[in-house]
Amino acid sequence: MKKALLRIIVALQFVIAVTVSHSYADTLADAFSVSYQAEAQGNYQAAIKPLRAQGAGSSYVGQVRLGWLNYRAKDWQQSITWYHKASRQAPRAIEPLLGMMLAQQGAGETYEAIETGQAVLQKDPHNYTAISRTAWLLYQRREYVQAAAMYRKLVDLYPTDTEMLLGLGYSLKLAGNKEESAQCFTTVLLLSPSNARALEGLRDGTARP
């Protein structure tokens, strides 16, 4: 009798646990749904609130989502914190590091953003996003030789990418290599006739890439 009663109790505990689990999942799914709706309306704090209320920050997906929403809300440090958490939870993942780069750029932490970009490239040496962002950050820091080296990596991989050709052209020009920079701008004009930035690059003045 006691054994039968014990089995019933255990069975009831299992049913209760499963029911609670499904209820929590449904509630969390609703929280994500509400969050996306609020984001679409540009209300980022309202998009964050239901996720925090349902404990979404304990999961990788929730951490990345909160990192993104805080970035959109221009709460740079909070965004960086969430992306750090996501990176620790999924140490092989690249996406939280790319998100962190955006938040660090927003915070004006260009050196830290470059370091994060390098961390991405250790995992994925040909990552387009990390290379292009790092190149632009180096350009902003007026480290033109290093910026040119990063832009060149992408031009080698994507020879007709006009944005990267422009970045390489301006970096080379400001590094003193005007002959090769002119070749980059000329190539851009073959791909994009009348491209204003390429035409500007061929003049004596220097604009942004």
pLDDT 10s digits, 153-181: 999 999 999 999 999 999 999 999 999 99
Q: What is the pLDDT of residue 3?
A: 56
pLDDT at 24 over 80: no
Please name which of 205, 153, 160 lies closest in space to residue 184, comparing C-alpha atoms. 160
Q: What are the φ and ψ backbone dihedral angles of 124, each rounded to 5 degrees?
A: -140, 90
Q: How far apart are CA 66 and CA 75, in angstroms?
A: 11
Provide the CATH number for the domain formed by 19-125 in this structure: 1.25.40.10
| pLDDT class of 205 with cuts at 50, 70, 90 | low
What DSSP character marks residue 91?
A: T
Residue 4 confidence (pLDDT): 54
15: pLDDT strictly greater than 50: no
Q: Between the CA of residue 151 and those of 76, 134, 161, what are the distances in Å?
A: 27, 9, 10
Residues of the chain with CATH 1.25.40.10: 19-125, 144-209
For residues 9 and 108, the model is more confident at 108
Say which CATH topology domain 144-209 has: 1.25.40
What tokens were used for 171?
């970096």
Q: Between the CA of residue 71 and those of 7, 58, 68, 80, what are the distances in Å?
A: 51, 19, 5, 8
> Stretch 47-66: mean pLDDT, rounded?
95
Instruction: Count Cβ atoms below 10 Å from residue 161 Cβ, excluding itself.
Output: 18
Cα 119 from chain centre: 13
φ, ψ of residue 94 to 5 degrees: the values are -95, -35
In terms of phi and psi (left: phi > 0; alpha: psi -120 to 50; beta: otherwise), the region of 42 is left
CA separation for the pair 186, 182 (Å, rounded): 6
Q: Give ∠ CA 143-156-91 in degrees, rounded to 5.
A: 70
- Predicted confidence (pLDDT) per residue in 65-78, tens digit: 999 999 999 999 99
Residue 26 predicted with pLDDT over 70: no
Model pTM? 0.82
Q: Above 90 in pLDDT, residue 88? A: yes
* Residue 27 pLDDT grade (very low, low, confident, very high; cuts 50, 70, 90): confident
